[in-house]
Structure formats: C-alpha cells, structure tokens
Amino acid sequence: MPRASGPLAEALAQRVVLLDGGLSNQLADQGCDLSGGLWSGRVLAERPDQVEAAHTAYARAGAEVLITASYQVGYEAFAARGHDRAGTTALLHRSVRLAARAAEAADHEVWVAASVGPYGAVLADGSEYRGRYGLSVRELAAFHRPRIEALLAAGPDVLAVETIPDTDEAEALLTVLAETGAPAWLSYTVAAGRTRAGGHLPEAFALAAASPQVIAVGVNCCDPAEVLPALKAAAAVTAKPLLAYPNDGSVWDAPTGTWHTPEAPVPWPLHAWHTAGARLVGGCCRIGPDRITALAALLPGRPE
C-alpha cells in the first residue's frame, strides 16, 4: 500500500492517529547493540535491516506514524566517531528511507515522521532531560539547520521535533522550521509540571501555537502522570491538535545507562487525554509493539 495519501494535519482534524512506540527498546529486544554514544544511530549505521524490522513491527501493531531512527544522529557526534559529513547525511537519508519501506509494506496508510531530537541527545549524557546547554538560540539553530535540511531532502511526511527540554531550543527549531516551511509537530519533555529545564508550560506551548508550520504540540518521553496537566496547559493557549507519547514512567539514569522502573504500572487515562485534545497518541521509551496494539483497541475515534 502507498504511504498515507493526505497530509497528517488533515487526519488530525478528523480523528485520533496512532503513533509507534520506542525505537531503542524494540531494537534492544531484537538483539541489537545500542552501547556507545550513538545509541540507535549505531544500529542505523551498522544494522539498517534491524531498523526496518523495528519499524515493521510497529506498523504491524497498528501504528499509523513511524518515527525515524534519526533522533541521535548529529554531524558533530558522528564526526567524532569517524563519519564524514557526506556519510552522516547519507545516514539521515537512510533513516527516512527505512521507515518509508516499512510504511509502504503496511496493510494500512502510514505516515513517516523524521525525528529531530534535541541538541542534548547527541551529547549522550542525559542532557535532553536537563536542557540549558549554554548555547544561544542562534547557535542551536545552526546546529539543527543542516540536520533538518538533510532529513527534508529524503522526503518524510512530517518532522517529529521531539523531546525538547526548554523554550530556547524550541525557539531555535521554530526559526529553522519557518525557513523551510515544512510541517512538524513540536513535543516537549516535561517533569513536575514544567519543561525539563524548568520552563513555564503555557509559555512553552504558546511558542508553538504561533508557528504555522506546527501541526500538533504536546509532550513525549515523560511520566504518563505528567501528560494530562501538560495537555490542559497546551489547550489553554492553542487550538492546535495535541499529542502525547510518554514512556512507561521509568526514569533514565545517564551515568549508569539504565532505567529505574516504577514499582507499579502508571495509568494511562486515554479518555481524559482525548477529552483534553490529544489527537496524536503513542508511546516513547520502553513502550513496545504490544502496547501499541493495546492502544489501537482503546483509542476513541480510530478507523474501524
């Protein structure tokens, strides 16, 4: 089947659309080695067949949007590990192509979202959960611009600007998006009712509300308990469709490279999220294809 025939924004205006889950956990479950600072980018470079298999697993689980393996691919980080600029560009293109192949093989329409992770992701030290890197908005825009241009050249349906920890980085990304005119969603990672860098959520969401390129705004890679308050904060400042793809409530320990799992599963009040405006819903880290299949059966407004 061809990839989705219309823009994702049009679908979001009509119904809930189901995202995929965490790529890294699925790659790990497939036996891939994610050690080292390149994380899933290492698998993209060394085992592209496994990346396509992970996308395929999510498409078979019912996901309607596949997020590419480009989250942690940055020119500087890959250069430090022996990849020249042309090679890194080729990997960014590959990430879109692999997701597109899985989308085209699905038995339902699927959009391809090119992942634009935060600057902190390429540092591989947990900085995306802190933000405030000491860089100016202009410097952050200069970092993101070539990655976004390379991803767009590969022809994704939309950009997934995700796991953004603060408003400075959001402002930089929105500047680049305005230059390209490309559709994107913007998703913050949040904790304790604020952005990870401690920013005021209404202010953060208002930035995205003013951007014509942003088709949806919300949160990802956060505790599920953080989702509903964040959605309500977003709904207070924008009429755009909202999105939510939390993790399972675990906390990432960057020094040890491990997750600290909650003692009991954290509830996902899907009806309340939908009532608050969520139209793009899925999972992030530690949410696998089985959970996506379960979401497909529970989300309201899904096609039969």
Q: Give the end-to-end CA distance of the chain in Å, rounded to a whole number.
A: 17
By the 10 Å C-beta count (0-12 exposed, 13-18 middle, 19+ buried), 176 is classed as: buried
pLDDT in the model for residue 301: 66
**The predicted structure's pLDDT at residue 266:** 75
Rounded Cα distance, 154 and 110, in Å: 16
pLDDT category of residue 1 using cuts at 50, 70 and 90 = low
Exposed, middle or buried by CB within 10 Å (0-12, 13-18, 19+), for 229? middle
Token pair of 283, please? 């999972």
Place 257 in a pLDDT band, splitting at 50, 70 and 90: low
Residue 194 is encoded by which pair of tokens?
A: 């604020």
Flag whether pLDDT at 288 surpasses 80.
Answer: yes
Identify the CA nearest to 233 among candidates 267, 206, 198. 206
Residue 217 has pLDDT above 60, yes or no: yes
**pLDDT for the residue 269:** 94
Measured between alpha carbons, how far is 215 from 235 in angstroms, rounded to an integer? 14
Q: What percent of the chain has pLDDT over 70?
A: 93
Q: Is the pLDDT of residue 27 over 80?
A: yes
Q: Pick the residue with more confidence: 124 or 193? A: 193
Please give the pLDDT value at position 245. 98
Q: Which two tokens stand for residue 135?
A: 């860089």
What's at 132, amino acid-wise?
A: R
> Looking at residue 36, what is its pLDDT?
81
Closest CA relative to residue 6, chosen from 17, 241, 181: 17
Instruction: Fill in the amino acid letter for 240.
Output: K
> Which residues does 49 contact at the CB level (< 8 Å), separation at least 6?
none
Q: For 156-172, how does the pLDDT look when each residue is reduced to its tens digit (9 = 90+)? A: 999 999 999 999 999 99
State the chain's maximal CA–CA distance in angstroms.
48
**3-state per-residue secondary structure call for the chain:** CCCCCCCHHHHHCCCCEEECCCHHHHHHHCCCCCCCCCCHHHHHHHCHHHHHHHHHHHHHCCCCEEECCCCCCCHHHHHCCCCCHHHHHHHHHHHHHHHHHHHHCCCCCCEEEEEECCHHHHHCCCHHHCCCCCCCHHHHHHHHHHHHHHHHHCCCCEEEEEEECCHHHHHHHHHHHHHHCCCEEEEECEECCEECCCCEHHHHHHHHHCCCCEEEEEEECCCHHHHHHHHHHHHCCCCCCEEEECCCCCEEECCCCEEECCCCCCCCCHHHHHHHCEEEECCCCCCCHHHHHHHHHHCCCCCC
Tally Cβ neighbours within 10 Å of residue 202: 14
Closest CA to 287 of 242, 191, 221, 216: 221
Identify the pLDDT of residue 3: 79
Checking if the pLDDT of 181 tops 60, the result is yes
pLDDT given at position 286: 85
pTM of the model: 0.94
